[in-house]
Structure 1
Amino acid sequence: MAEKGEADILFWVGCSGALFDRNVRTTIALAKILQRAGVDFAILGEEETCSGDPARRLGNEYLFQMLAQQNIETLNRYKFRRIVTHCPHCFNTLKNEYPQFGGHYEVIHHSQLIAELLQSGRLKPTKPLSGKITYHDSCYLGRYNGIYDAPRDILRAIPGSHLLEMKRSRERGLCCGAGGGHAWMEVRQGRPVNHIRTEEVMSVGAEMVGTACPFCMQMMEDGIRAKQQEETIAALDIAEIVERALE
């Protein structure tokens, strides 16, 4: 963004999307989709820092406010119409919590933007999707922000897709187990939530679980490994699924 100064879309990459190899693949897939659709976008690069979501969830309010104010100062130096992020945690923080500190922006999740591009015809997936797929609802995308249809509309737009719903889905969806900072904590009692969720994926006979959150991706892949289902179930972000369906 420092080179352009302005863009229609500011792509907020997020910590996971920039630093974790698995989620970097989602970042690349989304960037390719935006390029394919002719979207004018830019990133902050090294100017972007953590949104502060983990700090606030884990109780370090001072650190959260420091990060929020730093990011708002950075964002206010540039001109853009909307911010898009593929992390629901960043999405929720930028959209619903930054206004407390004067950061008022139009923030959308990548599922919403991809759905827009598909509906407008700027993206036309033509390669068939083989296998049965189910979708895991992210808590911050679903429960906190009411976004349930966009990811499903995307998956249904892929030729050959066969979308299966788990018993606990949409408003009744089960958390992946990473929320509230638990992605960095050991399970000390009971069963890991992501193992339970993986069993629910298995119960519907899905060969692929679509996600729209880097934390959910991490937890689902861990659950798939724990259940020794690596050869039968793949976890993919919706951006990766769409990118694969484009010629």
Structure 2
Amino acid sequence: MSKKGLIPPGLVYIADNITKKQNILGGDGREKAGWAKDLNLPKERETVFFAGCGYQYSDKLESLLSLMRKMDKSAIGAELPTNIAGFQKKLGINLARLYPKVLAKGDGAQPLLAAVRVLKSLGVDFGYLAEDEPCCGGLLHYIGQEREFAQNAQMVYRKLKSLGVKRVIGIVPSCTYTLRSLLPDCIDGYDLEVRHFVEVVLENIKSRQLRFPRQVKVTYHDPCQLSRYLEMIEQPRQILRAIKGIELVEPDWTKGEWATCCGGGGGFEVVFPELSQILAVNRAKELAETGAEIIVTHCPGCIMQLKSGLKEIKANDIEVLDLAQIVAMAMEG
């Protein structure tokens, strides 16, 4: 049996999109960068903002996962949607083009837009590679396609270096970890400096007066990659505590390194959609019990999962916002 025969169809579909189209849904580079088309961000900078391909596609992924979860409970099974998608691709049909609203500035792209506003306000000089931004390829590593991951890593490094990039500011935790910790294992003399958005913000807000537009209780959900891989647990909380008007309330023990997983990440939600939803509901309940009005996190997958969990427990009065959105609102408030 081939290696691909051992990998669930949903992951094969995403992996093929990464290797062939450099994004998870198979759209072209201009579509992936559509969220930034009116921002006039320069390309030629030594420091670049690495947007990844999670936030801007999250609206469509949320709809696809909802369908998969419904089918997972039926006799049809959850693999049908991704099998159909794979068949469409063989016929030359671009699935991403069928859903243009995903590529526009929908809710999913809002954290990216907020992050750009924050970095500009902090005086950070950065660019955005737009359609030239490669996919980090991290999922290839997580599903065991190490040869494909190494090839993609070499391509990513060569491309970034050819564009004059020396420093990267990542926002998606998995992309940041891949660029920071996994690529160096594949490349001799790896010399890119990779930092996460949280680190850059914390370093630059010490002299700023931040105030949220209203008094509010918030709780924080630790994304697995950010807390366990990048080891950034206290930094997001330091940022939240620096914002006047915000009261941070948290579960007694399911926080930090002991935070419960939301059920997303690494393709788990594609392979086990119903179990993923159970975990999302459990985490949503834990966070809702804190009495928070806003759940803050910093990962497109976590946002998607927590929204789904809150919807199922009918906690419609609780918002889920990205940390970048919170900081942007505090700067503008």
- Match of residue 57 from structure 1: 142
SS at match of 2:198: helix
For the 8 Å contact 2:43–2:129, the answer to whether it is kept is no
TM-score (ref. length: structure 2): 0.68
Matched residue, 1:185: 271
**TM-score (normalised: structure 1):** 0.90
Q: What is the distance in 1 between the residues matched to 2:228 and 2:118?
A: 27
- Corresponding residue of 1:126: 211
Larger helix fraction of residues = 2
Q: CA deviation at 1:144?
A: 1.5
Which of 98, 105, 115 lines up with 2:202 in the alignment?
A: 115
The one-character-per-residue Cα deviations of 1:52-100 (angstroms, maximum 9, x if unpaired) are 1122212222332232222111111233453111111001100100101
Aligned to 2:331: 246
Question: Which residue pairs with 2:287 in the alignment?
Answer: 201
Q: Check 1:191–1:3 CA distance in 2 against 1; reply closer, same or farther (3 A cut).
A: closer
| Structure 2: gaps (5+ residues) | 1-39, 59-105
Distance 1:62 1:233 in 2: 43
Q: What does 1:155-194 correspond to in 2, within 5 Å?
A: 155-166=240-251, 167-188=253-274, 192-194=278-280
Letter in 2 for 1:90: C
Structure 1: any 5+ residue segments left out of the alignment? none
Q: Give, in whole Å, the separation in 1 of the partners of 2:269 and 2:235.
A: 25
- Preserved contact between residue 222 and residue 256 of structure 2 (Cα < 8 Å): yes
* Residue aligned with 2:48, SS: strand
Q: What's the secondary structure of 1:210's corresponding residue? A: strand
Query: Contact (CA 8 Å) 1:128, 1:159: kept in 2 or not?
Result: no
Q: Does 1:140 align with 2:178?
A: no
2:181 matched to which residue of 1? 96
The equivalent of 1:70 in structure 2 is 155
Kindly report the root-mean-square deviation, in angstroms, between the aligned alpha carbons of the 2 structures.
2.1
Which of 307, 313, 319 is 1:221 aligned to? 307
Query: Residue 10 of structure 1 aligns to which amino acid in structure 2?
Result: V
Q: Give the drift of 1:211.
A: 0.4
Letter aligned with residue 218 of structure 2: I
The separation in 2 between residues aligned to 1:125 and 1:140, in whole angstroms, is: 27
CA shift for structure 1 position 154: 0.9
* Aligned-partner Cα distance in 1 for 2:155–2:165: 18
One-letter amino acid matched to 1:117: N
Residue in structure 2 matched with residue 26 of structure 1 by the alignment: 111
- The CA deviation at 1:44 is 1.2
Residue 76 of structure 2 is matched in structure 1 by: none
SS at match of 1:79: coil
Is contact 1:17-1:214 (8 Å) kept? Answer: yes
**Structure number with larger C-alpha Rg:** 2
Aligned to 1:16: 54
State which of 41, 54, 69 in structure 1 corresponds to 2:126: 41
Q: Is the 8 A contact 1:125 1:245 kept in 2?
A: yes
Amino-acid identity (%): 31
Moved more, 179-188 or 162-171: 179-188
Distance 1:158 1:91 in 2: 25
Letter in structure 2 aligned against 1:36: S
1:51 CA displacement: 0.9
* SS across alignment from 1:209: strand
Q: C-alpha displacement at 1:228, in angstroms?
A: 1.4
